[in-house]
Amino acid sequence: MNIKDFSALLKAKAAELNDFRHRKLPVLVGRTAKDHFQENFRQGGFVDGSLHPWQEAQRRKKGGKRASTKYGTLLSGRNHLFSSIKYIPGDSSVTVTNDVEYAALH
């Protein structure tokens, strides 16, 4: 391999790396973040190394026979908060969002 071949190879790899950083990496990071947040919902707490459970919901503390008592904290039969987690990949960035109006309270 001579210096011209090496230079061409280096430019091609730089272009691949640039494409990865600007287009592919934001999608991978966004998907990973969404999966992580949804796993928190499934486990009922923050899953960062080990499980740190969320505080028990008031409706579950009261007990009773209502349908809502069988769902975990921040969960419901329709899973609005869980299923509305989205990610928006951008140029070298990603935004994870939830457009449910009460999401900021949690």
**Mean pLDDT for the chain?**
83
- Specify the pLDDT at position 46: 81
| Whether residue 30 has pLDDT greater than 80 | yes
Least confident of 19-28, 40-49, 50-59: 50-59
Opening angle at CA 96, ends 95 and 102, nearest 5: 130
pLDDT-derived band of residue 61, with 50, 70 and 90 as boundaries?
low
Q: How far is it, in rounded angstroms, from Cα 26 to Cα 61?
A: 40
| Whether residue 33 has pLDDT greater than 80 | yes
Query: Strand pairing partners for 94?
Result: 89
Q: How far is it, in rounded angstroms, from Cα 73 to Cα 71?
A: 7
- Specify the pLDDT at position 60: 53
